[in-house]
Chains A and B, each alone.
Chain A
Amino acid sequence: MQRDVITEGWFDARAFLRRFDVRSREDILPEPWADSYGIEIVEAPLDGAAAQLIRLADLVQIVIPERITDNAVRRFAIIHELYHYLKRHPSPSPTMMCRPKWMRRGDEAFHLELGSNAFAGAVLLPEFLLRKRCEVSPVSLDVPWRIAKEYDVSILTSAIRFAELASERCAAVFSRNGVVEWAAESPSFTRRIRKGTRLDRSSVAWDFHTKGRLDEREQPVPATAWFNTTADVDIIEHSTCSPQHGTVLSLLWVPEAVGARLGMP
Protein backbone atom coordinates (compact mmCIF):
# COMPACT_ATOMS: atom_id res chain seq x y z
CA MET A 1 0.00 0.00 0.00
CA GLN A 2 2.74 2.47 0.99
CA ARG A 3 4.78 1.60 -2.09
CA ASP A 4 1.70 1.97 -4.31
CA VAL A 5 0.83 5.49 -3.18
CA ILE A 6 4.45 6.58 -3.49
CA THR A 7 4.75 5.16 -7.01
CA GLU A 8 1.49 6.83 -7.97
CA GLY A 9 2.79 10.14 -6.59
CA TRP A 10 5.92 9.86 -8.76
CA PHE A 11 3.86 8.94 -11.83
CA ASP A 12 1.51 11.88 -11.31
CA ALA A 13 4.49 14.19 -10.80
CA ARG A 14 5.85 13.31 -14.25
CA ALA A 15 2.48 14.10 -15.85
CA PHE A 16 2.24 17.33 -13.85
CA LEU A 17 5.69 18.49 -14.98
CA ARG A 18 4.76 17.75 -18.59
CA ARG A 19 1.50 19.66 -18.15
CA PHE A 20 3.43 22.81 -17.25
CA ASP A 21 6.22 22.21 -19.75
CA VAL A 22 8.89 22.18 -17.06
CA ARG A 23 12.31 22.12 -18.70
CA SER A 24 14.61 23.68 -16.12
CA ARG A 25 14.87 24.72 -12.48
CA GLU A 26 13.44 28.16 -13.34
CA ASP A 27 10.18 26.56 -14.48
CA ILE A 28 9.39 25.09 -11.03
CA LEU A 29 6.84 27.58 -9.74
CA PRO A 30 4.62 26.30 -6.90
CA GLU A 31 2.70 29.51 -6.24
CA PRO A 32 1.88 30.35 -9.89
CA TRP A 33 0.88 26.71 -10.44
CA ALA A 34 -1.54 26.86 -7.52
CA ASP A 35 -2.85 30.17 -8.82
CA SER A 36 -3.49 28.67 -12.26
CA TYR A 37 -5.98 26.29 -10.63
CA GLY A 38 -7.73 29.23 -8.95
CA ILE A 39 -6.27 28.34 -5.55
CA GLU A 40 -5.69 31.14 -3.04
CA ILE A 41 -2.67 31.01 -0.81
CA VAL A 42 -3.45 32.32 2.64
CA GLU A 43 -1.16 32.96 5.59
CA ALA A 44 -2.73 32.36 8.98
CA PRO A 45 -1.59 31.69 12.54
CA LEU A 46 -2.20 27.96 12.08
CA ASP A 47 -1.21 26.19 15.31
CA GLY A 48 -1.67 22.49 14.78
CA ALA A 49 -0.48 21.73 11.25
CA ALA A 50 2.29 22.55 8.78
CA ALA A 51 -0.27 23.42 6.06
CA GLN A 52 -3.95 23.07 5.32
CA LEU A 53 -6.18 22.65 2.28
CA ILE A 54 -9.75 23.90 2.33
CA ARG A 55 -12.05 23.36 -0.66
CA LEU A 56 -15.65 24.51 -0.57
CA ALA A 57 -17.00 24.07 -4.09
CA ASP A 58 -15.26 26.83 -6.08
CA LEU A 59 -13.31 28.26 -3.15
CA VAL A 60 -9.95 26.58 -2.69
CA GLN A 61 -7.38 27.77 -0.19
CA ILE A 62 -3.98 26.50 0.80
CA VAL A 63 -3.28 27.85 4.26
CA ILE A 64 0.35 28.25 5.30
CA PRO A 65 1.19 28.93 8.94
CA GLU A 66 2.66 32.39 9.55
CA ARG A 67 5.39 30.80 11.66
CA ILE A 68 6.80 29.01 8.61
CA THR A 69 9.13 31.51 7.01
CA ASP A 70 11.50 29.06 5.34
CA ASN A 71 10.73 29.30 1.62
CA ALA A 72 11.77 25.69 1.04
CA VAL A 73 9.19 24.46 3.55
CA ARG A 74 6.50 26.70 2.08
CA ARG A 75 7.13 25.50 -1.47
CA PHE A 76 6.92 21.89 -0.37
CA ALA A 77 3.71 22.55 1.59
CA ILE A 78 2.01 24.22 -1.40
CA ILE A 79 2.76 21.32 -3.76
CA HIS A 80 1.82 18.79 -1.08
CA GLU A 81 -1.62 20.39 -0.58
CA LEU A 82 -2.06 20.95 -4.32
CA TYR A 83 -1.82 17.18 -4.81
CA HIS A 84 -4.57 16.56 -2.25
CA TYR A 85 -6.70 18.97 -4.26
CA LEU A 86 -5.88 17.52 -7.68
CA LYS A 87 -6.52 13.96 -6.51
CA ARG A 88 -9.67 14.96 -4.62
CA HIS A 89 -8.40 12.95 -1.67
CA PRO A 90 -11.22 12.16 0.75
CA SER A 91 -11.29 14.23 3.93
CA PRO A 92 -11.15 12.67 7.36
CA SER A 93 -14.44 12.99 9.23
CA PRO A 94 -14.82 16.11 11.42
CA THR A 95 -14.57 13.90 14.51
CA MET A 96 -11.30 12.40 13.26
CA MET A 97 -9.87 15.83 12.40
CA CYS A 98 -10.63 17.11 15.90
CA ARG A 99 -8.92 14.16 17.61
CA PRO A 100 -5.37 14.45 18.92
CA LYS A 101 -2.62 12.81 16.88
CA TRP A 102 -2.20 9.70 19.05
CA MET A 103 -5.87 8.80 18.50
CA ARG A 104 -5.55 9.05 14.71
CA ARG A 105 -2.85 6.41 14.24
CA GLY A 106 -3.36 4.07 11.33
CA ASP A 107 -6.05 6.14 9.64
CA GLU A 108 -6.26 6.31 5.84
CA ALA A 109 -4.97 9.87 5.79
CA PHE A 110 -1.50 8.52 6.61
CA HIS A 111 -1.22 6.89 3.16
CA LEU A 112 -2.57 9.96 1.43
CA GLU A 113 0.08 12.02 3.18
CA LEU A 114 2.80 9.69 1.92
CA GLY A 115 1.51 10.03 -1.64
CA SER A 116 1.42 13.82 -1.38
CA ASN A 117 4.96 13.89 0.00
CA ALA A 118 6.19 11.67 -2.85
CA PHE A 119 4.46 13.92 -5.39
CA ALA A 120 5.88 17.11 -3.87
CA GLY A 121 9.42 15.70 -3.78
CA ALA A 122 9.23 14.50 -7.38
CA VAL A 123 7.75 17.78 -8.67
CA LEU A 124 10.21 20.04 -6.87
CA LEU A 125 13.14 17.79 -7.79
CA PRO A 126 12.36 16.39 -11.25
CA GLU A 127 13.97 13.10 -12.14
CA PHE A 128 14.88 14.20 -15.66
CA LEU A 129 16.87 17.13 -14.29
CA LEU A 130 18.56 15.33 -11.41
CA ARG A 131 19.06 11.64 -12.08
CA LYS A 132 22.55 12.06 -13.52
CA ARG A 133 23.66 14.10 -10.51
CA CYS A 134 22.44 11.35 -8.20
CA GLU A 135 24.29 8.61 -10.03
CA VAL A 136 27.59 9.35 -8.28
CA SER A 137 30.20 7.51 -6.30
CA PRO A 138 31.42 8.03 -3.62
CA VAL A 139 28.20 9.03 -1.88
CA SER A 140 27.98 11.82 0.69
CA LEU A 141 25.61 14.61 1.69
CA ASP A 142 27.50 17.02 -0.58
CA VAL A 143 25.24 16.45 -3.59
CA PRO A 144 21.98 16.64 -1.57
CA TRP A 145 23.22 19.89 0.03
CA ARG A 146 23.95 21.41 -3.37
CA ILE A 147 20.58 20.28 -4.77
CA ALA A 148 18.75 21.66 -1.72
CA LYS A 149 20.34 25.06 -2.23
CA GLU A 150 19.87 25.16 -5.97
CA TYR A 151 16.25 23.95 -5.98
CA ASP A 152 15.12 25.72 -2.80
CA VAL A 153 14.06 22.60 -0.92
CA SER A 154 14.99 21.36 2.56
CA ILE A 155 17.96 19.05 3.03
CA LEU A 156 15.49 16.34 4.11
CA THR A 157 13.54 16.56 0.84
CA SER A 158 16.77 16.63 -1.11
CA ALA A 159 18.31 13.65 0.73
CA ILE A 160 15.17 11.54 0.23
CA ARG A 161 15.06 12.38 -3.47
CA PHE A 162 18.79 11.70 -3.79
CA ALA A 163 18.28 8.21 -2.32
CA GLU A 164 15.31 7.60 -4.65
CA LEU A 165 17.37 8.45 -7.73
CA ALA A 166 20.79 7.13 -6.66
CA SER A 167 22.43 4.23 -8.45
CA GLU A 168 24.63 3.40 -5.44
CA ARG A 169 23.41 1.51 -2.34
CA CYS A 170 22.51 4.33 0.00
CA ALA A 171 19.83 5.41 2.44
CA ALA A 172 18.80 8.67 4.09
CA VAL A 173 17.93 8.03 7.73
CA PHE A 174 16.27 10.56 10.02
CA SER A 175 16.49 10.14 13.78
CA ARG A 176 15.23 11.94 16.84
CA ASN A 177 16.08 11.20 20.48
CA GLY A 178 18.24 8.27 19.41
CA VAL A 179 15.44 6.53 17.49
CA VAL A 180 14.95 6.18 13.71
CA GLU A 181 11.85 8.12 12.57
CA TRP A 182 12.08 7.26 8.89
CA ALA A 183 14.46 5.96 6.27
CA ALA A 184 14.45 6.34 2.48
CA GLU A 185 16.48 3.69 0.71
CA SER A 186 17.83 3.67 -2.84
CA PRO A 187 16.52 0.89 -5.12
CA SER A 188 19.78 -1.09 -4.71
CA PHE A 189 19.84 -0.67 -0.91
CA THR A 190 17.77 -3.76 -0.37
CA ARG A 191 17.88 -3.96 3.43
CA ARG A 192 15.32 -1.98 5.37
CA ILE A 193 16.12 0.33 8.27
CA ARG A 194 12.96 0.21 10.32
CA LYS A 195 11.18 3.10 11.96
CA GLY A 196 11.57 2.84 15.74
CA THR A 197 15.04 1.23 15.58
CA ARG A 198 17.31 2.52 18.37
CA LEU A 199 20.59 3.96 17.14
CA ASP A 200 23.71 1.93 17.80
CA ARG A 201 26.43 3.56 19.88
CA SER A 202 28.99 3.01 17.12
CA SER A 203 27.05 5.18 14.67
CA VAL A 204 27.96 8.84 14.19
CA ALA A 205 24.30 9.85 14.67
CA TRP A 206 24.36 8.36 18.18
CA ASP A 207 27.01 10.90 19.22
CA PHE A 208 24.60 13.78 18.74
CA HIS A 209 21.83 12.21 20.76
CA THR A 210 24.19 11.55 23.67
CA LYS A 211 26.78 14.33 23.46
CA GLY A 212 24.79 17.04 21.65
CA ARG A 213 27.36 17.22 18.83
CA LEU A 214 28.72 15.10 16.04
CA ASP A 215 31.52 15.00 13.52
CA GLU A 216 29.86 16.21 10.31
CA ARG A 217 32.30 14.52 7.95
CA GLU A 218 31.66 11.37 5.99
CA GLN A 219 33.50 8.53 7.69
CA PRO A 220 33.66 4.75 7.89
CA VAL A 221 31.62 3.08 10.62
CA PRO A 222 31.21 -0.64 11.32
CA ALA A 223 28.32 -2.09 9.32
CA THR A 224 26.97 -3.40 12.64
CA ALA A 225 26.22 0.23 13.58
CA TRP A 226 23.29 0.10 11.18
CA PHE A 227 22.67 -3.56 10.31
CA ASN A 228 22.15 -6.78 12.15
CA THR A 229 25.10 -8.57 10.55
CA THR A 230 28.13 -10.69 11.39
CA ALA A 231 30.12 -9.24 8.48
CA ASP A 232 33.19 -7.42 9.73
CA VAL A 233 33.10 -4.59 7.19
CA ASP A 234 32.73 -0.83 7.21
CA ILE A 235 30.16 1.33 5.50
CA ILE A 236 30.24 5.12 5.12
CA GLU A 237 28.07 7.39 7.25
CA HIS A 238 27.70 11.12 6.65
CA SER A 239 25.53 12.74 9.30
CA THR A 240 24.39 16.26 9.99
CA CYS A 241 22.40 17.50 12.96
CA SER A 242 19.86 20.16 13.72
CA PRO A 243 20.43 21.29 17.32
CA GLN A 244 17.27 23.43 16.98
CA HIS A 245 15.07 20.39 16.31
CA GLY A 246 17.18 17.78 18.11
CA THR A 247 17.39 15.62 15.00
CA VAL A 248 20.01 13.95 12.85
CA LEU A 249 20.00 13.18 9.13
CA SER A 250 22.40 10.41 8.14
CA LEU A 251 23.28 9.38 4.63
CA LEU A 252 24.55 5.80 4.63
CA TRP A 253 26.53 4.39 1.75
CA VAL A 254 27.32 0.73 1.21
CA PRO A 255 30.21 0.66 -1.28
CA GLU A 256 30.26 -1.92 -4.05
CA ALA A 257 33.14 -3.81 -2.39
CA VAL A 258 31.12 -4.69 0.72
CA GLY A 259 27.61 -4.85 -0.77
CA ALA A 260 27.56 -8.62 -1.26
CA ARG A 261 28.74 -9.28 2.30
CA LEU A 262 25.78 -7.26 3.59
CA GLY A 263 23.27 -9.08 1.42
CA MET A 264 23.13 -6.33 -1.21
CA PRO A 265 24.82 -7.84 -4.27
Chain B
Amino acid sequence: MKKTDDNDIRTLDIVTHEVGLLEMQDGRSTPDDRRWANQVAGSMRARIAEHRRSRLPKTVAIKKAGPISERLLAMPRAVLEALFGSLVEQWGPQAQFAHRQLDTLSDNDLRRMIQTIENHTNRG
Protein backbone atom coordinates (compact mmCIF):
# COMPACT_ATOMS: atom_id res chain seq x y z
CA MET B 1 0.00 0.00 0.00
CA LYS B 2 1.30 3.47 -0.88
CA LYS B 3 2.18 5.96 1.82
CA THR B 4 -0.53 8.44 0.73
CA ASP B 5 -3.14 5.66 1.09
CA ASP B 6 -1.75 4.93 4.55
CA ASN B 7 -2.16 8.57 5.52
CA ASP B 8 -5.68 8.72 4.11
CA ILE B 9 -6.77 5.66 6.07
CA ARG B 10 -5.16 6.98 9.25
CA THR B 11 -6.90 10.35 8.79
CA LEU B 12 -10.24 8.63 8.22
CA ASP B 13 -9.67 6.52 11.36
CA ILE B 14 -8.96 9.60 13.48
CA VAL B 15 -11.92 11.55 12.12
CA THR B 16 -14.30 8.57 12.58
CA HIS B 17 -12.99 8.04 16.10
CA GLU B 18 -13.46 11.70 17.05
CA VAL B 19 -16.94 11.85 15.50
CA GLY B 20 -17.84 8.68 17.40
CA LEU B 21 -16.65 10.21 20.69
CA LEU B 22 -18.64 13.38 20.02
CA GLU B 23 -21.75 11.34 19.23
CA MET B 24 -21.31 9.37 22.45
CA GLN B 25 -21.03 12.57 24.48
CA ASP B 26 -24.07 14.05 22.82
CA GLY B 27 -25.89 10.74 23.24
CA ARG B 28 -29.00 11.67 21.30
CA SER B 29 -30.34 9.84 18.31
CA THR B 30 -33.58 10.46 16.52
CA PRO B 31 -35.88 7.73 15.15
CA ASP B 32 -34.56 8.70 11.71
CA ASP B 33 -30.96 8.09 12.88
CA ARG B 34 -31.94 4.65 14.18
CA ARG B 35 -33.81 3.79 10.99
CA TRP B 36 -30.82 4.84 8.92
CA ALA B 37 -28.42 2.88 11.13
CA ASN B 38 -30.62 -0.23 10.91
CA GLN B 39 -30.78 0.10 7.14
CA VAL B 40 -27.01 0.43 6.82
CA ALA B 41 -26.40 -2.53 9.15
CA GLY B 42 -29.07 -4.63 7.38
CA SER B 43 -27.69 -3.87 3.97
CA MET B 44 -24.12 -4.70 5.09
CA ARG B 45 -25.29 -7.99 6.61
CA ALA B 46 -27.12 -8.88 3.38
CA ARG B 47 -24.03 -8.14 1.28
CA ILE B 48 -21.82 -10.20 3.55
CA ALA B 49 -24.29 -13.11 3.43
CA GLU B 50 -24.44 -12.87 -0.36
CA HIS B 51 -20.66 -12.92 -0.52
CA ARG B 52 -20.56 -15.90 1.87
CA ARG B 53 -22.99 -17.81 -0.32
CA SER B 54 -21.04 -17.05 -3.49
CA ARG B 55 -17.87 -18.43 -1.91
CA LEU B 56 -19.36 -21.83 -1.05
CA PRO B 57 -17.65 -24.70 -2.88
CA LYS B 58 -19.67 -26.36 -5.64
CA THR B 59 -18.64 -29.84 -4.54
CA VAL B 60 -17.21 -31.19 -1.32
CA ALA B 61 -14.90 -34.19 -1.12
CA ILE B 62 -16.15 -36.93 1.18
CA LYS B 63 -13.40 -38.76 3.05
CA LYS B 64 -13.39 -42.50 3.61
CA ALA B 65 -12.38 -43.69 7.06
CA GLY B 66 -9.17 -45.74 7.08
CA PRO B 67 -8.90 -49.27 8.47
CA ILE B 68 -8.67 -49.78 12.23
CA SER B 69 -5.17 -50.56 13.44
CA GLU B 70 -4.21 -54.09 14.53
CA ARG B 71 -3.29 -52.75 17.98
CA LEU B 72 -6.80 -51.40 18.58
CA LEU B 73 -8.44 -54.45 17.03
CA ALA B 74 -6.69 -56.60 19.62
CA MET B 75 -8.05 -54.59 22.55
CA PRO B 76 -11.08 -55.90 24.47
CA ARG B 77 -14.04 -53.69 25.41
CA ALA B 78 -12.92 -52.87 28.96
CA VAL B 79 -9.50 -51.68 27.77
CA LEU B 80 -11.08 -49.65 24.97
CA GLU B 81 -13.45 -47.91 27.37
CA ALA B 82 -10.61 -47.06 29.76
CA LEU B 83 -8.43 -45.75 26.93
CA PHE B 84 -11.28 -43.69 25.51
CA GLY B 85 -11.98 -42.20 28.94
CA SER B 86 -8.36 -41.18 29.44
CA LEU B 87 -8.09 -39.63 25.96
CA VAL B 88 -11.27 -37.63 26.46
CA GLU B 89 -9.97 -36.41 29.80
CA GLN B 90 -6.69 -35.42 28.16
CA TRP B 91 -8.49 -33.28 25.56
CA GLY B 92 -10.82 -31.72 28.11
CA PRO B 93 -13.24 -29.09 26.79
CA GLN B 94 -11.53 -29.07 23.40
CA ALA B 95 -13.20 -32.39 22.66
CA GLN B 96 -16.83 -32.65 21.67
CA PHE B 97 -18.80 -35.74 20.69
CA ALA B 98 -22.39 -36.18 19.61
CA HIS B 99 -24.33 -39.05 18.11
CA ARG B 100 -27.60 -39.08 16.24
CA GLN B 101 -29.91 -41.94 17.20
CA LEU B 102 -27.20 -43.55 19.29
CA ASP B 103 -28.14 -47.11 20.01
CA THR B 104 -25.00 -48.72 21.39
CA LEU B 105 -21.43 -47.79 20.48
CA SER B 106 -20.03 -51.02 19.10
CA ASP B 107 -16.46 -52.06 19.88
CA ASN B 108 -15.42 -50.99 16.40
CA ASP B 109 -17.19 -47.62 16.73
CA LEU B 110 -15.20 -47.08 19.89
CA ARG B 111 -11.96 -48.19 18.22
CA ARG B 112 -12.55 -45.78 15.36
CA MET B 113 -13.16 -42.87 17.74
CA ILE B 114 -10.00 -43.72 19.66
CA GLN B 115 -8.05 -43.96 16.42
CA THR B 116 -9.24 -40.50 15.34
CA ILE B 117 -8.30 -39.02 18.71
CA GLU B 118 -4.90 -40.74 18.82
CA ASN B 119 -4.04 -39.72 15.27
CA HIS B 120 -4.91 -36.13 16.01
CA THR B 121 -3.11 -36.17 19.36
CA ASN B 122 0.08 -37.50 17.73
CA ARG B 123 -0.18 -34.97 14.92
CA GLY B 124 -0.30 -32.12 17.44
Q: For residue B67, give the distance in angstroms from its CB to the closest CB of chain A.
A: 10
A55 to B116, CA, bound (A): 10
Q: Does B95 contact A52, Cβ atoms closer than 8 Å?
A: no
B13 shortest CB reach to chain A, Å: 29
Q: Give the residues from 72 to 120 in chain A that come closer than 8 angstroms, CB to CB, to chain B.
A: 77, 80-81, 84-85, 88-92, 94-95, 97-101, 104, 109, 112-113, 116
B84 touches A94 (CB 8 A): yes
A184 to B13, CA, bound (A): 54
Closest B residue to A104 by beta carbon equals B102
Residue B88 lies at the interface, judged by CB distance under 8 Å to chain A: yes
Shortest Cβ gap from B99 to chain A (Å)? 4
Q: Is A186 an interface residue (CB 8 A)?
A: no
> Do the beta carbons of B99 and A51 come within 8 Å of each other?
yes
CA distance A116 to B105 in the complex (A): 20
Mask, B43-64, CB within 8 Å of A = 1, is 0011001101101111010111
8 Å CB interface, B6-47 against A: 45-46
Q: Are the CB atoms of B113 and A54 closer together than 8 Å?
A: yes
Given A20-B52, A44-B65, A50-B101; A55-B84 close (CB under 8 Å): no
> Contact between A42 and B56 (Cβ–Cβ < 8 Å)?
no
Report the minimum CB–CB distance from A42 to chain B (whole Å): 5
Whether A80 lies near B100 (C-beta < 8 A) is yes
Task: Say yes or no: B52 contacts A19, CB within 8 Å.
Answer: yes
Q: Which residue of A lies closest to B49 (CB)?
A: A21
Task: Tally B residues with Cβ within 8 Å of A.
Answer: 43
Chain B CB within 8 A of A41 CB: yes
B102 lies within 8 A of A48 (CB): yes
Task: Known contacts A21-B46, A41-B62, A43-B62; decide if A89 and B96 are in contact (CB<8 Å).
Answer: yes
Q: Are B104 and A100 interface neighbours, CB within 8 A?
A: yes
B53 touches A20 (CB 8 A): yes
Give the contacting residue for A49; candidates B65, B109, B120; CB below 8 A. Answer: B109
Q: Are the CB atoms of A84 and B84 closer together than 8 Å? A: no
B45: which A residues are within 8 A, CB to CB?
18
Known: A19-B52, A43-B64. A52 touches B103 (CB 8 A): no
Q: Is the C-beta of A33 less than 8 angstroms from some C-beta in chain B? A: yes
Which A-B residue pairs are the 7 nearest by beta carbons? A44-B65, A21-B49, A47-B106, A55-B96, A84-B98, A32-B56, A49-B99
* Known contacts A32-B57, A41-B62, A88-B96, then 12 further A-B pairs from the complex at CB < 8 Å, ordered by chain A residue: A18-B49, A20-B56, A43-B63, A44-B64, A49-B100, A56-B120, A91-B95, A97-B99, A97-B105, A101-B104, A109-B102, A116-B98
Task: Write 12 A-B pairs (CB below 8 A) sorted by A numbering.
Answer: A18-B45, A46-B112, A49-B102, A49-B103, A52-B100, A55-B94, A55-B97, A61-B116, A81-B98, A92-B97, A94-B85, A116-B100
Question: Which residues from chain A sit less than 8 Å from chain B, CB to CB?
Answer: 18-22, 27, 29, 31-36, 40-57, 59, 61, 63-64, 77, 80-81, 84-85, 88-92, 94-95, 97-101, 104, 109, 112-113, 116
